[in-house]
């Protein structure tokens, strides 16, 4: 936190994201405040608390607009306000075009290798352009100088950096792309590839999770735009604007905010088991995801099935608790996926159930972070099997929750987190037998080995926490700002 303050030297920042960090919902005669399931919010919220300023977001979850209208400018967090949340309201048509359509049926499958075909509609694109412009205008209105520091989040706003740059040429614009960046061939199928790239190159800094995604981006720009690329400094210059392309692996808050409110690991273990009617020594696996086809939930269930087939002694003695937060449910691909997950869980449960016990406990509902952390603490193994994932913060959250240095992480090699958490059991989620074997190995791992692995992963997450993530970007931005001021003085 202190590093952030030093970099900003009293400056207030403006964050732009689609997802809002708090959801105000009308429940009978009171307003309930929830936290959405979003890696982006998990990471950026503590940074915003530390820096203060304004967070501009789409008021998507705060659905009952009539009642929450007065919450379009609100100080948050509700219990201890530290920054301002400025909501932008969209009509259903705008949300369908910009968010569901272009961002989630187009860019999301374009950037993730999950073999779901992207859909590009001209009407969605037009909506995406218009909404990017509306958010860019809001940034300009919220800025209290001609050179604000603006943090742009994710694939919903690829055009916004260019739009803000046009209105505020001296702004420092840091754009972070929270999902993978594909290779030039894959990206090239997008009918508006040049427009998207030009928009992103309005940024001062463009951040990705891994050097591999940076490399893909540089190659994509090289293929489709006229620019000058300096590979040594990882910069792209286009029409007098210089963009640094750098990897900044995202992380979580350390120490985690919820830590002091949570019961001990022992208590969580016994409470979670008691709530499910399971005996104290019952083995538990945990999966926590938005119910998204990129998360490898079907592959995870098949791995559990295979493990029970190969190790019948675990039948009746192991349960995978799968928290699946409903997400983007208006889209057909997500409805189909939700049904596939439900049906596979039913089939596997029917195959193995004994009395009241079933191997998969599927919870398709929203859980607040405190509840999720109780499950992390109760589990013997956390299973992350994403088919493709920018970072995956569930892996880091699980590690942070295990102050007892017990529990094992099984982690997909196709996540950004696998490049950092080397002491996890790394798997290819498409290889069902390998994943089954890793879960079994986790359940039979000696305590000493668990402790060694968990200790070293905890040190990494502690040292490379989310303040370090934001601090590194702001430090690079501060250097660039200084250099530009100097150049302007020299003329
Ligand atoms: O972390 C990737 C991400 O797409 C974020 O941009 C987003 O907030 C999160 O996943 C959840 O998705 P959504 O905001 O569409 O619910």
- pLDDT of 407 reads 98
Q: Does the pLDDT value for residue 383 go beyond 60?
A: yes
Three-state DSSP class for 231?
A: coil
392 close to ligand 1 (CB < 6 Angstrom) = no
Strand pairing report for 53-58 and 13-17: parallel
Q: What is the mean pLDDT of residues 466-472?
A: 93
| Token output for 107 | 């860019």
Strand pairing report for 83-88 and 425-427: unpaired
Q: Which residues lie closer than 8 Å to 472 by C-beta, 6 or more apart?
A: 248
- pLDDT of 436 reads 98
Distance 148 CA to ligand 1 centre (A): 25
Q: Residue 108 CA: which ligand 1 atom is closest?
A: 4
Average confidence score pLDDT of the chain:
94
Q: Residue 156 CA: which ligand 1 atom is closest?
A: 6
* Structure confidence at residue 27 as a pLDDT band (50, 70, 90): confident
Strand pairing report for 53-58 and 73-76: unpaired
Please write the tens of the pLDDT for every residue from 166-179: 999 999 999 999 99
The per-residue DSSP string of 436-481 comes to HHHHHHHHT--HHHHHHHHHHHHHHHHHT-HHHHHHHHHHHHHHHH
Q: Does the pLDDT value for residue 65 go beyond 60?
A: no
- pLDDT of 18 reads 97
Distance 38 CA to ligand 1 centre (A): 5
Q: Does the pLDDT value for residue 67 go beyond 60?
A: no
19 close to ligand 1 (CB < 6 Angstrom) = yes
- pLDDT of 34 reads 86
Rounded CA separation 301/292 (Å): 14
Cut 0.90: pTM above it: yes
Q: Minimum mean pLDDT among 117-121, 129-133, 486-490: which range?
A: 486-490
- pLDDT of 6 reads 66
Rounded CA separation 391/154 (Å): 13
CA angle 448, 452, 454 (to 5 degrees): 115
Residues 399 and 253: beta-carbon distance below 8 Å: no
- pLDDT of 352 reads 98
* Structure confidence at residue 365 as a pLDDT band (50, 70, 90): very high
Distance 324 CA to ligand 1 centre (A): 14
Q: What is the mean pLDDT of residues 70-78?
A: 78
Residue 273: in which H helix or E strand, if any? helix 265-275
209 close to ligand 1 (CB < 6 Angstrom) = no
Residues 410 and 442: beta-carbon distance below 8 Å: yes
Distance 326 CA to ligand 1 centre (A): 12
Share of the chain above pLDDT 70, in %: 96
Three-state DSSP class for 290?
A: strand
Q: Minimum mean pLDDT among 22-31, 160-169, 349-358: which range?
A: 22-31
- pLDDT of 153 reads 97
| Token output for 266 | 């022992």
Please write the tens of the pLDDT for every residue from 401-435: 999 999 999 999 999 999 999 999 999 999 999 99
Q: Does the pLDDT value for residue 5 go beyond 90?
A: no
Q: What is the mean pLDDT of residues 49-65?
A: 81
Please write the tens of the pLDDT for every residue from 353-364: 999 999 999 999
For the stretch 72-108, what's the b/e string if a residue is b when 16 or more beta carbons lie within 10 angstroms of its beta carbon?
eebebbeeeeebbbbbbebeeebbbbbbbbbbbbbbb
Rounded CA separation 453/474 (Å): 32
The per-residue DSSP string of 74-135 comes to EEESTTS--EEEEEE---HHHIIIIIIIIIIIIIHHHHS-SS------HHHHHHHHHHHHHH
154 close to ligand 1 (CB < 6 Angstrom) = yes
Q: What is the mean pLDDT of residues 389-395?
A: 98
Alpha-carbon Rg of the chain, whole angstroms?
Answer: 23
291 close to ligand 1 (CB < 6 Angstrom) = no
Q: Residue 290 CA: which ligand 1 atom is closest?
A: 11
Q: In 3D, which of 310, 328, 240 has the Cα closest to residue 19?
A: 328
- pLDDT of 10 reads 67
- pLDDT of 4 reads 65
- pLDDT of 322 reads 98
- pLDDT of 73 reads 80
Distance 41 CA to ligand 1 centre (A): 8
- pLDDT of 69 reads 56
Rounded CA separation 441/432 (Å): 14
- pLDDT of 260 reads 81
Decide which of 83 and 10 is more confident. Answer: 83
- pLDDT of 71 reads 58
Rounded CA separation 20/7 (Å): 25
Q: Does the pLDDT value for residue 63 go beyond 80?
A: no
| Token output for 11 | 């400056």
Relative orientation angle of helices 369-378 and 393-401, to the nearest 10 degrees:
70
| Token output for 170 | 């001296």
Cis peptide before 255 (omega within 30 of 0): yes
ipTM comes to: 0.95
Q: Minimum mean pLDDT among 234-248, 275-289, 427-441, 477-491: which range?
A: 477-491
Distance 101 CA to ligand 1 centre (A): 14
Q: What is the mean pLDDT of residues 213-237?
A: 97
Rounded CA separation 123/121 (Å): 5
């Amino acid at each position: 936190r202190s590093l952030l303050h030093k970099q900003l030297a009293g400056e207030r920042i403006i964050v732009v994201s689609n997802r809002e960090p708090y959801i105000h919902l009308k429940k009978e005669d009171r307003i309930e405040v929830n936290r959405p399931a979003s890696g982006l919010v998990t990471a950026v919220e503590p940074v915003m608390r530390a820096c203060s300023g304004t967070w501009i977001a789409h008021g998507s979850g705060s659905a009952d607009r009539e009642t929450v209208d007065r919450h379009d400018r609100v100080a948050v967090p509700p219990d201890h306000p530290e920054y301002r949340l400025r909501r932008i309201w969209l009509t259903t048509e705008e949300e369908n075009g910009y968010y569901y359509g272009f961002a989630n049926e187009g860019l999301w499958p374009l950037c993730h290798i999950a073999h779901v075909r992207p859909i590009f509609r001209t009407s969605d694109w037009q909506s995406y352009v218009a909404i990017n412009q509306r958010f860019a205008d809001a940034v300009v209105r919220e800025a209290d100088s001609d050179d604000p520091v603006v943090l742009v989040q994710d694939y919903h706003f690829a055009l916004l950096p260019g739009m803000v740059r046009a209105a505020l040429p001296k702004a420092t614009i840091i754009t972070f792309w929270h999902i993978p960046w594909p290779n030039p061939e894959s990206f090239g199928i997008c009918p508006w590839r040049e427009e998207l790239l030009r928009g992103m190159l309005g940024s001062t800094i463009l951040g990705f999770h891994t050097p591999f995604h940076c490399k893909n981006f540089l190659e994509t720009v090289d293929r489709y735009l006229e620019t000058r690329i300096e590979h040594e400094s990882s910069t792209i210059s286009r029409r007098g604007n210089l963009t640094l392309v750098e990897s900044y692996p995202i992380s979580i808050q350390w120490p985690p905010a919820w830590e002091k409110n949570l019961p001990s690991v022992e208590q969580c273990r016994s409470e979670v088991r008691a709530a499910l009617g399971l005996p104290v020594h019952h083995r538990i696996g945990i999966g926590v995801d938005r119910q998204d086809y990129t998360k490898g939930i079907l592959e995870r269930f098949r791995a559990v099935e295979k493990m029970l087939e190969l190790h019948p002694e675990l039948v009746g003695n192991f349960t995978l608790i799968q928290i699946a937060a409903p997400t983007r449910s208006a889209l057909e691909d997500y409805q189909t996926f939700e049904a596939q997950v439900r049906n596979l869980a039913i089939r596997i449960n029917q195959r193995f159930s004994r009395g009241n016990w079933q191997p998969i406990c599927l919870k398709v509902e929203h859980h607040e972070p405190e509840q999720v952390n109780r499950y992390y603490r109760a589990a013997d193994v956390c299973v992350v099997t994403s088919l493709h994932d920018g970072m995956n913060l569930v892996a880091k959250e699980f590690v942070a929750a295990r102050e007892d240095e017990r529990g094992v992480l099984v982690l997909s090699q196709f996540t950004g987190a696998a490049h950092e958490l080397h002491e996890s059991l790394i798997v290819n989620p498409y290889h069902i037998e390998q994943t089954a074997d890793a879960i079994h190995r986790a359940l039979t791992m000696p305590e000493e080995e668990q402790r060694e692995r968990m200790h070293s992963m905890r040190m990494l997450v502690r040292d490379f926490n989310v303040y370090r993530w934001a601090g590194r970007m702001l430090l690079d931005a501060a250097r660039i700002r200084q250099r530009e001021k100097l150049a302007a003085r020299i003329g």
